[in-house]
Amino acid sequence: MRQLAERQNVLAQNIANADTPNYRARDVRPFSFDSVLLRGSGGAAPLRLAATNAGHVGAAAGATRVVTDRSQSYSEDPDGNTVNLEEQMVKQADLAKSYDMATTVYRRNAALLRAAAGGR
């Protein structure tokens, strides 16, 4: 949910700056469950993959955080602006679908826990 909120904020900034000269459109890196596991949270040590042999694949050296990066835009205006409003609206629609799916999963999970606890 935090990643979705951050992406919503970045896309809104892109749309707000659609007429700003030299503004570069930005986007948030996609959420990766592996990076969250390897990063650790709340002061806890990050989870590391076990390797019993030097040839085994280990954890990536730098787990990625949710940060913004430059998106690949289809065109650039003469004033240097790379915001394409149609592209931003498609991303907004995709974001809305992802948010709806996440809230549905949370809602169903809460209903399952209530049912298991004997509630309605």
pLDDT bracket for residue 80 (50, 70, 90): confident
pLDDT bracket for residue 67 (50, 70, 90): very low
List the beta bridge partners of residue 68.
28
What does pTM read for this prediction? 0.63
Alpha helices in 17-73 (DSSP H): 33-39
> Pick from 102, 101, 17: which is nearest to 9 by CA?
17
Query: Percentage of residues in the chain with pLDDT exceeding 70?
Result: 65
